Amino acid sequence: MMIASQKTMDALKSIGLNKYERNLWVALLSKGSATAGELAEMSKVPRSRCYDVLESLTAKGFIMLQTGKPLRYVSLPPREAMERAKKKVAEDAQEAEERLDTLAKSDSIRELEKFHKDNIKTMNSEEMTGSVKGRYAVLQHMGTMMKNAKKSVKLITTATGLSEIAESHGAHIKRMSERGVSVQVLAPVREQHAEIVKELSKYTEIKNLEGSVAGGRICIVDGQEFVMGLTDDEKTHPTQDIAFWSQSNHATLSVVEPMFDMLWKVSKNAK
């Protein structure tokens, strides 16, 4: 059996194949066709796990089942396997989206909302804190906060963050402005941001943030909650980005918002 390089195994991990799936698929590629028992011996995957892992690989489109006794599994050319896997992912995503849409329109969602609403009433705002991991998740959480904003949104961000906010939240900012929410943005504005500043300025106030604090990321909504980046977005891989979120009125009104207001007061309008 040919042994794949660690780089190749890592690449297979990055597309969602677990250790047993990776080992079994590589083993089957090197054999062409094999039984579960043969693959267990070749890949060192426990025989008791082989059948369910091979079933998973078949469902994902990486291999084919050859009927007969004993059952045999057949490898597909890797590029064809990738195309089949891509199609399966797209189909699964479409089905999942349809199920989510159905749930969102059902009586069940109203029942779940009641559970949440009743539970929130019993919690102190200081208990509503947590961490958010991953750039995508952080941007999503900010989007949810902005969507629910009633009075104000105050943003401190980096040069990279300004571009991400424009791309991910431009529509949110426009809608907030249309419903009367005040939006203020502090960021280190560079020449490459000219078009972004021009577009966002239609709906927000933007000031140029300079100096040593230009590496922070904070979003404050209605003086009641905030999310604060804990990692350097320019040096941290997006999957490892971490932010802290809190609905503590005390922390927001006593510390975070006054800091923003101080920086806003001494900063100059972006051009």
pLDDT tens-digit series, residues 183-218: 999 998 888 888 998 999 999 999 998 764 556 899
Q: Which of 60, 78, 96 is the last residue of a domain?
A: 78
- Structure tokens belonging to residue 28: 């089957």
Tell me how many domains the chain contains: 2
pLDDT of residue 213: 53
What is the percent of the chain where pLDDT is above 70?
93
Query: Does a structural domain hold residue 73?
Result: yes
CA torsion, ordered 142, 148, 149, 155, to nearest 10 deg: 0
pLDDT of residue 67: 77
pLDDT of residue 270: 81
Query: Does a structural domain hold residue 85?
Result: no
Distance between CA atoms of residues 186 and 205, nearest Å: 9
Tell me which DSSP letter residue 256 carries: I
Query: Does a structural domain hold residue 96?
Result: no
Distance between CA atoms of residues 133 and 141, nearest Å: 10
Query: Does a structural domain hold residue 224?
Result: yes
Are residues 259 and 132 part of one domain? Answer: yes
Query: Does a structural domain hold residue 40?
Result: yes
Where residue 176 sits, what CATH number does that domain have?
Answer: 3.30.870.10
How many C-beta neighbours within 10 Å does residue 107 have? 7
Q: What is the mean pLDDT of each run of 10 residues along the chain (271 residues)?
A: 82 92 93 91 91 93 86 91 91 92 90 74 60 91 91 93 90 91 91 88 89 74 93 88 88 90 89 73
Q: Which of 48, 78, 108 is the last residue of a domain?
A: 78
Q: Which residues have a Cβ under 8 Å from the Cβ of 89 and sit 6 or more positions away? A: none
Query: Does a structural domain hold residue 245?
Result: yes
Distance between CA atoms of residues 213 and 149, nearest Å: 25
Q: Which of 78, 113, 135 is the last residue of a domain?
A: 78
Range of the domain at 239: 126-269
Are residues 51 and 156 part of one domain? Answer: no
Sign (positive/negative) of CA torsion 57, 60, 66, 69?
A: positive
Give the CA angle between residues 201, 206, 207 to the nearest 5°: 150
